[in-house]
């Protein structure tokens, strides 16, 4: 299979949590490929393994079995140190609960991953200012997270996820805690990112969010049970080569 365009790739991915009676197969033999520029949405009931899958793809958790590849490089076998480096350089996470640093301003929160990825202070500041502008928050750069609304905090979190210019943005319920107006703001940002060719994996319960994707997979009990192309044909000429594994 030609996988030159795959930014994220997983084969036979398994993750079990717990021991004995309480053992759960959170992710159960999942295979996927997300080509450059594709937006993949993952939907499914609570507890079906969506967050676990996202954590495995981004190297936040290690699989019990199977393989994860990022831009052609296998990551599940990396040392902790190399894995952390890969995350800092290549992955942008958007968490459901924002996870902003409360003591830092909006701008400083966004600067942080840029600094960690190796930008100079000046570059990081410039990038944070551009990103805050992109998410419509130029006027809030000096505010602390506690001085922002839920929707504004989530927009800071999206800007932060982009600060290291990641190969892929992994978003876990990015609109989960937001009202309709804030959801639409975040949705617009994801649509802009998609238009700009950003590779995205979005876990969501919201049909409106899923509708912005190129492809939608449904999960049940750790497995993919459905796979739908939303943009008609496989995306950007690569999708024909890309399929779920059995």
Ligand X SMILES: Nc1ncnc2c1ncn2[C@@H]1O[C@H](COP(=O)(O)OP(=O)(O)OP(=O)(O)O)[C@@H](O)[C@H]1O
Nearer to ligand X, 38 or 51 (CB): 51
To ligand X, the closest distance from the beta carbon of 128 in angstroms equals 29
Nearer to ligand X, 17 or 126 (CB): 17
Between residue 35 and residue 54, which ones bind Mg ion under the rule CB under 5 A? 51
The reply to whether 109 sits near Mg ion by the rule CB under 5 A is: no
Residue 49 interacting entry, from ligand X, Mg ion, none, C-beta within 5 to 8 Å by type: ligand X
To ligand X, the closest distance from the beta carbon of 227 in angstroms equals 17
**What is the distance between the alpha carbons of residues 34 and 16, in angstroms, rounded to a whole number?**
23
Residue 24 interacting entry, from ligand X, Mg ion, none, C-beta within 5 to 8 Å by type: ligand X
Nearer to ligand X, 93 or 109 (CB): 93
The reply to whether 175 sits near Mg ion by the rule CB under 5 A is: no
To ligand X, the closest distance from the beta carbon of 31 in angstroms equals 17
How many CA within 13 A on the CB side of residue 162? Answer: 26
Cβ atoms of 239 and 35 closer than 8 Å: yes
To Mg ion, the closest distance from the beta carbon of 171 in angstroms equals 11
Going 76 to 77 to 82 to 84, the CA torsion angle's sign is positive
To ligand X, the closest distance from the beta carbon of 5 in angstroms equals 27
Task: Scan for tokens 């590779």, then name that residue.
Answer: 199
Nearer to ligand X, 50 or 215 (CB): 50
Write out 205-241 in H/E/C secondary structure: CCHHHHCCCCEEEEEECCEEEEEEECCCCCHHHCHHH
Nearer to ligand X, 54 or 115 (CB): 54
To ligand X, the closest distance from the beta carbon of 25 in angstroms equals 8
Between residue 50 and residue 79, which ones bind Mg ion under the rule CB under 5 A? 51
How many residues touch Mg ion under the rule CB under 5 A: the total is 1
Q: For binding to ligand X (CB under 6 A), which residues are involved?
A: 17-18, 24, 26, 44, 46-52
Cβ atoms of 31 and 13 closer than 8 Å: yes
Nearer to ligand X, 136 or 176 (CB): 176
Contact positions vs Mg ion (CB under 5 A): 51
């Amino acid at each position: 299979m030609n996988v030159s365009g795959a930014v994220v790739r997983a084969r036979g991915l398994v993750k079990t949590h717990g021991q004995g009676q309480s053992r759960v197969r959170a992710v159960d033999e999942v295979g996927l490929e997300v080509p450059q520029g594709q937006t993949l949405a993952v939907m499914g009931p609570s507890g079906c393994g969506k967050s676990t899958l996202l954590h495995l793809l981004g190297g936040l958790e290690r699989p019990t079995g199977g393989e994860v590849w990022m831009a052609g490089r296998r990551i599940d076998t990396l040392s902790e140190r190399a894995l952390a480096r890969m995350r800092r350089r290549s992955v942008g996470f958007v968490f459901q609960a924002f996870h902003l640093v409360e003591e830092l301003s909006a701008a400083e929160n966004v600067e942080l991953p840029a600094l960690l990825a190796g930008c100079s202070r000046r570059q990081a500041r410039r990038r944070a200012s551009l990103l805050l502008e992109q998410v419509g928050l130029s006027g809030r750069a000096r505010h602390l997270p506690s001085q922002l609304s839920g929707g504004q905090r989530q927009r800071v979190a999206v800007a932060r996820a982009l600060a290291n210019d990641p190969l892929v943005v992994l978003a876990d319920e990015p609109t989960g805690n937001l009202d309709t107006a804030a959801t639409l703001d975040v949705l617009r940002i994801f649509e802009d990112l998609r238009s700009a060719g950003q590779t995205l994996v979005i876990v969501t319960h919201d049909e409106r969010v899923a509708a912005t994707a190129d492809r939608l997979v449904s999960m049940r009990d750790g497995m993919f049970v459905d796979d739908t192309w939303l943009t008609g044909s496989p995306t950007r000429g690569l999708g024909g080569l890309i399929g779920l594994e059995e």
